[in-house]
Amino acid sequence: MTSPRAMVERIKQLQKEKDILILAHNYVRPEIQDIADYVGDSLGLSRQAALSDHPLILFCAVHFMAETAEILTRADQTVLIPDRRAGCSLADMITAPALRDWKAKHPDALVVAYVNTSADVKAESDICCTSANAAQIVSSLPHDREILFLPDMFLGAWVEEVTGRKMEIWPGECHVHATLPPDRIKSLMVEHTKAEFLIHPECGCSTQCLYLDSVGELPSSPIVASTGGMVRHVKESDGTKFIVATETGILHPLKKSAPHKVFIPASEEMVCQFMKMVTLPKVLKVLEAGAPVVSVPEPTRSKARAAIDRMLAVTV
């Protein structure tokens, strides 16, 4: 059996030979984050892919994220994924046919899709959003239009709360957040009064915390930040203890950036098994084989791209 160290060496060799950019999501295994050129959230990774000149991009994350990267890259670039079966319980909550049925019942509505959706669903949507820009996106839409918001009910409820816009919300959720009951969040905040409470907004597993804060259910407001923002914050803050309410993979970059500080996962069980499907042997295999390739067919690609571009036009 090849040792992890030998695998990493071979991966680095292949990466150099084939000029491959390796991107990794914050929630993948630490050893995968450590071999990546860039670690970040889903949209940040897609932007890195779009800005790069590399002919091959290895996207270490779940499938819908690799699809988004493929949609944003040029035709002469190829996106590879270590395991195409790495899905997302939130993205799987709605399919394109189900969305078409929903739209048929609301023919004048605009559809806002969280980026945690398949390319097929994005293609049926008017505009995409992330949790960081969802309120801004919804506020930018004409006030006389009904809005269908999907697929995350907690993000939808939070957007309603902060914008005052009433929407039709798809009843979807990420299974990872279900391991974090609201009482647990409150009791942790009471138990660790001096700890700062951090939320990473870019995955459905933390949208519940955003909602609880917006309705005044938390003892104090959490610090909502991207990975880069969190890393900066924990380095610069005088605080020494942080409660982290999102998938536990994010603890790796935080511990690396501030090794002497204490990070308490809001729940040890907040583990996304889809993200953990990305392993070193699979990374090595995909680099050797140049497959599996992520490919979004036309016209889905162009339609999904239009929904993403409308989001970027509002937020840039």
- Region near ligand SF4 per CB under 6 A, out of 13-21, 98-106, 172-180, 220-228: 172-180
Nearer to ligand SF4, 118 or 214 (CB): 118
Nearer to ligand SF4, 45 or 205 (CB): 205
Per-residue contact flags (x/-) with ligand SF4 for residues 97 to 136, judged by CB under 6 A: -------------------x--------------------
Query: Residues touching ligand SF4: how many (CB under 6 A)?
Result: 15
Both structure tokens of 194? 């001096």
Nearer to ligand SF4, 77 or 206 (CB): 206
**Number of CB atoms found within 10 A of residue 215's CB:** 10
Provide φ and ψ at 63, rounded to 5°. Answer: -60, -45
Q: Using CB under 6 A, which of 20, 174, 189, 277 touches ligand SF4?
A: 174
| Strand ranges in 86-178 using DSSP code E only, listed in sequence order | 110-114, 127-129, 147-150, 168-169
Nearer to ligand SF4, 81 or 174 (CB): 174
What CA–CA distances, in Å, run from 121 to 26, 27, 91, 304? Answer: 24, 23, 9, 8
Residues 6+ apart with CB under 8 A from 307: 113, 122, 123, 125, 126, 127, 128
- Region near ligand SF4 per CB under 6 A, out of 28-36, 85-93, 216-224, 278-286: 85-93
> Is the Cβ–Cβ distance between 298 and 31 less than 8 Å?
no
Burial (CB < 10 A; 0-12, 13-18, 19+), residue 208, is buried
CB of 87 to ligand SF4, least distance (A): 8
Integer Cα distance of 168 and 257 in angstroms: 41
CB of 260 to ligand SF4, least distance (A): 28
Integer Cα distance of 5 and 2 in angstroms: 8
Residue 278 lies near ligand SF4 (rule: CB under 6 A): no
Nearer to ligand SF4, 88 or 180 (CB): 88
* Interacting residue ranges for ligand SF4, rule: CB under 6 A: 62, 88-90, 116, 174-176, 203-205, 247, 272, 274-275
